Amino acid sequence: MKVLLLVSELEDYAITYANGLARHAEVVLCVPRRQYARLARWVDPRVDLRLLDWPRHSSPGNLRFLASVVRLVRREGPDVIHLLSNNILWLNLALPFWRGIPIVTTVHDVEVHPGDRDTKALPAWATTLAVRQSDALVVHGEGLRRKAAERFGRPLGEIHVLSHPAITRYADLARAEGLAPALRGEGFTLLLFGRIFAYKGLDLLLRAEAALGDRLPGLRIVIAGRGDDPWELRGLMGDPGRYDIRSRFIEDREVAELFLGADAIALPYAEASQSGVLNVAAAFGLPAIATDVGELGATVEGQGMGLVVPPGDAAAMAATILRMAGDAGAREEMARRARAWAEGPNAPEAVGGRALALYRDLLRRRRAGYAERMHPSPGG
């Protein structure tokens, strides 16, 4: 089977998904050169990587680009086209040209996260139009499946769950460069990583740290990633000296060093669907402290790879940080389970195998429908 993947962002997810799928099918990955050229070494050689001169959303060059993509698809003749993100403003115009090919769209976030300036810049109708023109949708959990059915008015049978695969390249980089985990001392380091927007629950983490007072000597909180400035919430902090704040884009080697140096990952989200950060942490065998929002609680608790707290409850978050920091044995067991999940049922090749089964079922249904139209049953 030949699958053509199209995506303009989400580099870690797209590369991981393509690499896993390439263990089972012929894969053509079409992505923007400006974002993916530096990452080409992380793409499995079995993936046919096409670095395209993909214009930005505001460029009038998108019309020329779309014509070139339509020609590319015609030349490749894939069995399935999978749009790995619903942020496909201009690609909506190309979808009618591909009606003879099953189209799958992954909807990562059924609703835009509060404060997510990146996604909010795109009009909501773009996702709705993509969904209407797709044969099937993919989401990352059963809860999201139900939400997608409600929002888009699609039958549950047309919405499929594929988990976000474990993101392994930072752990692979750490091994390749011989980066060693930090020596564990008396302290406890908690890492909040990624896009620091309102939905990430930064305020909850800061209020929990303040609530801890002096009960956890040696606590260190690392906040790393672009977005909102954590120092604007300085008034919520108990002890600003506990914080290591890096408000910027984090290069790959530093990402690996941050995860190696942490004792646990913090996911104090106020709202979420799933988390790519959790999938990086699992590859490092890093336990999680997460709020029970979206698919986070079900994943973390279901896999036994961390502790879950109610969203917005600073006292519960503080108590949970204290509990995890004080039980090294439990942390080690959670770490083992996180790594087992990342290397087993949520490994990229495992998710790729489930994706292949989805594509095959989609093709079977389409062919059965075509045969029924050509040769209707008596009385049909």
**Got the DSSP string for 65-130?**
HHHHHHHHHHHH--SEEEES-S--TTGGGTGGGGTTS-EEEE-S-SSPPTT-HHHHTS-HHHHHHH
232 and 354 co-located in one domain:
no
Looking at residue 110, its pLDDT comes to 84
Number of domains within the chain = 2
Those residues with Cβ within 8 angstroms of residue 161's Cβ, 6 or more apart along the chain or in another chain = 138, 139, 140, 141, 142, 144, 145
| Residue 373 pLDDT | 52
Percent of the chain with pLDDT over 90: 78
Average pLDDT, integer, range 178-186: 75
The answer on pLDDT for 126 being more than 60 is: yes
Give tens-digit pLDDT for 18-55.
999 999 999 999 999 999 999 999 999 999 999 999 99
Residue 96 shares a structural domain with residue 216: no
| Higher pLDDT, residue 161 or 124 | 161
Is 312 part of any domain?
yes
pLDDT tens digits for 295-306? Answer: 899 999 999 999
Residue 154 lies in a domain: yes
Assess whether 12 and 49 both reside in one domain: yes
Read off the pLDDT of residues 54-76 as tens digits, 9 standing for 90 and up.
Answer: 998 788 889 999 999 999 999 99
- Residues 169-179: what's their mean pLDDT? 95
Q: Which pLDDT score is estimated for 60? A: 85
Q: 284 and 185 share a domain? A: yes
Do 123 and 100 fall within a single domain?
yes
Least reliable range by pLDDT among 126-140, 312-326, 365-379: 365-379
Which residues on neighbouring strands pair with residue 196, listed in sequence order? 227
What is the pLDDT at residue 378? Answer: 57
pLDDT at residue 183 is higher than 70: no
Q: Is 296 domain-assigned?
A: yes
The answer on 188 and 132 residing in a single domain is no
Task: Say yes or no to pLDDT of 115 above 70.
Answer: no
More confident residue, 5 or 143: 5
The whole-angstrom separation of Cα 278 and Cα 198 is 18
The answer as to whether 194 is a domain residue is: yes
Q: 128-131 contacts: CB < 8 A, separation 24 or more?
A: 128/152, 129/92, 130/83, 130/86, 130/88, 130/91, 130/92, 130/95, 130/105, 131/86, 131/105, 131/107
- Is residue 370's pLDDT more than 60? no
At 135, is the pLDDT very low, low, confident or very high (cuts 50, 70, 90)?
Answer: very high
379 in a structural domain: no
Percentages helix, strand, coil for the chain (3-state, rounded to 5) are: 50, 15, 35
pLDDT per position as a tens digit, 206-225: 999 999 999 999 999 999 99
Sort strands 2-6 and 26-32 into parallel, antiparallel or unpaired: parallel
Q: Record the tokens describing residue 289, joined without a space.
A: 């402290």
Q: In terms of domains, do 251 and 326 share one?
A: yes
| Position 197 pLDDT exceeds 90 | no
Query: Strands of 288-291's sheet, edge to edge?
Result: 243-246, 219-224, 188-193, 264-267, 288-291, 306-309
| 113, pLDDT greater than 70 | no
Print burial letters for 318-328: b (CB count within 10 Å at least 16), e (below 16). Answer: bbbbbebbeee
- Residue 306 resides in a domain: yes
- Using DSSP's 3-state secondary structure scheme, residue 38 falls into helix
Mean residue pLDDT across the chain? 91
| Average pLDDT score over residue span 324-350 | 97
Looking at the structure, tell me whether residues 229 and 120 fall in a common domain: no
Give the bridge partners for 221, in sequence order. Answer: 190, 243
Q: Say yes or no: 100 and 41 in one domain.
A: yes
Task: Say whether both 16 and 141 belong to one domain.
Answer: yes
Residue 380 lies in a domain: no
Q: Are residues 37 and 61 in the same domain?
A: yes
From residue 165, alpha-carbon distances to 203, 351, 364, 375 in Å are 28, 6, 25, 41
Query: Are residues 227 and 330 located together in one domain of the fold?
Result: yes
| For the chain, percent of residues with pLDDT exceeding 70 | 93
Confidence (pLDDT) at 379? 55
The stretch 124-145 carries a mean pLDDT of 90
Length of the chain, in residues: 380
Q: What is the CATH number of the domain that holds 257?
A: 3.40.50.2000
